[in-house]
Structures are given as structure tokens and as C-alpha cells.
């Protein structure tokens, strides 16, 4: 038996669909955040803290998956997860707006990766690994589900980070989006 993501796995058994992380929180987009991308987590309390309002970068990045790079502050590196073995990464999430300013808004969920990040000030280049546009519900009483999977495998030992941004939206009040998600390794 070997250990994988905290579970005992028989030799030769598949590790497909093993959970890497659970991310749950509330994205908060302020009135000047209509095109900003927010990191899942808090640099003070990690990914378990429920208020997510740290801007990874000022505008939603679009581009070519596995090619586009973005400089991201090393401060946010601690909010990433180290991939235990080479595999694709799948991110499944349930989401809903908490207030009417979040009704029927377009968002962009992205997975970024890097081989390593610095421990001090400065920034590191991360590569866009997956990109999915989704729309929030038109009410606070119902949840919707979405997912995205990297198109290629992320090497063992690399770090993956998860972000959500409003996708070219105009907002006139603070907008909240609740997200409950699971990140799994897949083939």
C-alpha cells in the first residue's frame, strides 16, 4: 500500500479522481472590480477563510491555455497547491450570487500553474492551464454547477492556483459569489 492524498492505495491502483483540495468561500468584488480576478483564499488565513477579495491581477486574463503567462505576486503563492503526481487537474464548483448585484453575471474561472514561486517580495510567472466562462444564477435561492479541466497534465511538484474574475462586467454595488468546490486529479 502507498499513501496518496492521505488515502491508502493498492500498488498499481488508479489515482484518478482523487481529491487534491476543497475550496469554499465567498468572492467579493467591489464596485471598481468589474474586470478583476480574485484568488481563492486569504494570505492571512489560507484557502479555508471564507472572504476571498485579493486581486491576483487587475484585469481578467484571456489567452491560449498552456501558453499564456502572467506575473503573479509571490504573496499569493501560498494559496496554491502542490501537485503530488503528474496529472490533469479538474475543478468542479457549485456557485450562487448572494445579492442582486450578482445576478446573471459572467465570470471566468481559471487554473494557473508554476514550477515554483519565490518566498519573498516580487512575483513569479504562472502559466494559464484552464479557462472557463460561466454565468451566475438570476436568483439567490438556487445553485448552479460548472467545471473546468486542464487540457494537458501538470507535472508532479508544480503548484496550481485557482482564480475567478468578473468577465468584462459593469457593477454598481459590491457583488458576492459563493463557491463550493472540489479539485481532483484526473487523467
Domains within the chain, CATH numbers bracketed? 19-186 (2.60.120)
Check residue 2 and give its pLDDT.
44
* Residue among 183, 181, 176, 170 nearest 52 (CA): 176
Task: State the sign of the Cα–Cα–Cα–Cα dihedral 45, 47, 53, 55.
Answer: positive
Check residue 115 and give its pLDDT.
97
The whole-model pTM stands at 0.88
pLDDT tens readout for residues 39-63: 887 776 667 677 888 888 766 667 8
Spans of the chain, pLDDT less than 50: 1-8
* Residue among 99, 93, 176, 81 nearest 141 (CA): 99
Q: Would you state the cell numbers that stand for residue 52, as one nine-digit string?
A: 476571498
Check residue 39 and give its pLDDT.
85
Q: Would you state the cell numbers that stand for residue 47, as one nine-digit string?
A: 484557502
For residues 120 and 95, give the distance between their C-alpha atoms in angstroms, rounded to a whole number: 34
Amino acid at each position: 500500500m502507498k499513501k496518496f492524498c492521505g488515502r491508502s492505495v493498492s500498488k498499481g491502483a488508479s489515482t484518478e479522481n482523487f481529491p487534491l483540495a476543497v475550496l469554499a468561500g465567498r468572492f467579493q468584488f467591489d464596485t471598481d472590480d468589474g474586470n478583476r480576478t480574485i484568488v481563492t483564499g486569504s494570505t492571512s488565513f489560507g484557502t479555508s477563510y471564507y472572504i476571498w477579495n485579493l486581486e491576483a491581477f487587475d484585469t481578467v486574463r484571456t489567452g491560449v491555455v498552456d501558453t499564456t503567462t502572467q506575473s503573479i505576486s509571490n504573496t499569493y503563492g501560498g494559496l496554491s497547491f502542490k501537485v503530488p503526481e503528474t496529472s490533469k487537474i479538474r475543478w468542479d464548483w457549485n456557485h450562487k450570487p448572494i445579492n442582486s448585484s450578482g445576478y446573471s453575471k459572467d465570470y471566468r474561472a481559471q487554473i494557473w500553474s508554476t514550477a515554483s514561486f519565490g518566498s519573498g517580495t516580487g512575483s513569479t510567472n504562472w502559466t494559464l492551464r484552464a479557462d472557463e466562462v460561466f454565468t451566475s444564477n438570476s436568483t439567490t435561492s438556487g445553485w448552479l454547477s460548472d467545471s473546468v479541466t486542464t487540457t494537458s497534465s501538470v507535472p508532479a511538484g508544480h503548484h496550481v492556483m485557482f482564480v475567478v474574475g468578473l468577465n468584462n462586467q459593469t457593477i454598481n454595488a459590491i457583488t458576492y459569489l459563493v463557491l463550493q468546490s472540489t479539485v481532483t486529479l484526473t487523467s
